[in-house]
Amino acid sequence: MKYYTPLIPFSLGILLLLQLPIFADLVWANGILQLLVFIALASLPALRTGRMSYVDLAWPWGLVLLGLITLINCPQLNLRVWLISTLYILMGLRMGLGAIKLWQAGYLNSELPRYQYQRRRWRRKGKHKTPLAMQVEIILQGLANVSFLAIPAFVMAVDPAPSIAIMTWLGLLLWIAAYTMESVADMQKLNFLREMRKAGTPNQVCNVGLWAYSRHPNYFAEWMAWNALIIMAVPSWYYLLSSQPVVLWLTLGVALVLVSYIMYSTLVYYTGAVPAEYYSVKKRPQYETYQKHTNRFFPGTKK
């Protein structure tokens, strides 16, 4: 049972969406197609190679699929649906194309550090059946795309209002800023690593540009992009009050807010900052000094 416990919250998220008939077509289409994507891109490669790094291919391309499903299966196609679908597709493409480059460069031929760290977690929890633990982990990330991470898109997809609320436009502006920040941070990191390789000084600490204000500005920006999607969806969630049972409507609102918590926990503790820094300290001699003077997640001035 300890292997399957992490799946429970996401399964409950799916059950919540299925309790609202207005989401039924979207949930079923998304569930079936996400299953196929994760089997093809992550589960089968993990069985063949003994590595679960391939989930880095499945998850972002699952986001692209989620955007397309929202666009194709929405009850009424309007500007709001075009907006939210496009944002999901752009988020997925940015990470998905990057994952393809990693795969082509051979980085997936060995387990990525964050999944090496996950094996350490499994051992501490007494999970010694690694193949089973890998498959459950892959299923978990697939369920995230079917449940909580789909909520902002689905809530906006069923809103028939002809006009778009100011709050939605403000959320869009925040998303653009966050997406730009994440892209800039990634570019600064790549340029830094390229310059260090040219200089023959590998394993240096990237503390330039945005990385001087946060040890993980890309993760912070990714989190803010999801917060922006939540903000965009709030007016559409409020619209549902007139047509859905109050208890389910309130529960859906809580689930919408939980998207922020889930992404924060993931980007800081689960597959983000904590696993990355565990290996950075071992690999980069100056990283401990960097940790002392630079915020881990939220950007700020040097300590």
Q: Give the pLDDT score at 148.
A: 98
What's the whole-model pTM score? 0.96
Q: Give the pLDDT score at 302.
A: 83
**Helices vs. strands in the chain: H and E counts, helices first:** 13, 0
pLDDT band at residue 303 using 50, 70 and 90 as cut-offs:
confident
What is the enclosing helix (H) or strand (E) of 82?
helix 79-104
Domain-wise residue ranges, the chain:
5-293
d(CA 100, CA 57): 7
Average pLDDT of the residues in 65-74: 96
Dihedral, 215, 255, 91, 167 alpha carbons, nearest 10: -100
Average pLDDT of the residues in 35-56: 96
Count Cβ neighbours within 10 Å for each residue of 58-80 and write b for 16 or more, e otherwise.
Answer: bbbbbbbbbbbbbbebbeeebeb
pLDDT band at residue 237 using 50, 70 and 90 as cut-offs:
very high
**41: DSSP letter:** I
pLDDT(52) > 80: yes
Q: Give the pLDDT score at 2.
A: 83
Q: pLDDT (tens digit, 9 = 90+) per residue, 170-209?
A: 999 999 999 999 999 999 999 999 999 999 988 899 999 9
Dihedral, 156, 160, 163, 164 alpha carbons, nearest 10: 0
Looking at 159-216, list the stretches that DSSP marks H as alpha helix, in order from N- to C-terminal side.
166-199
Long-range Cβ contacts of 23-27 (<8 Å, 24+ apart):
23/154, 23/158, 25/73, 26/69, 26/70, 26/73, 26/74, 26/150, 26/154, 26/157, 26/158, 27/146, 27/150, 27/154
Average pLDDT of the residues in 264-292: 95
pLDDT(298) > 80: yes
d(CA 165, CA 251): 22
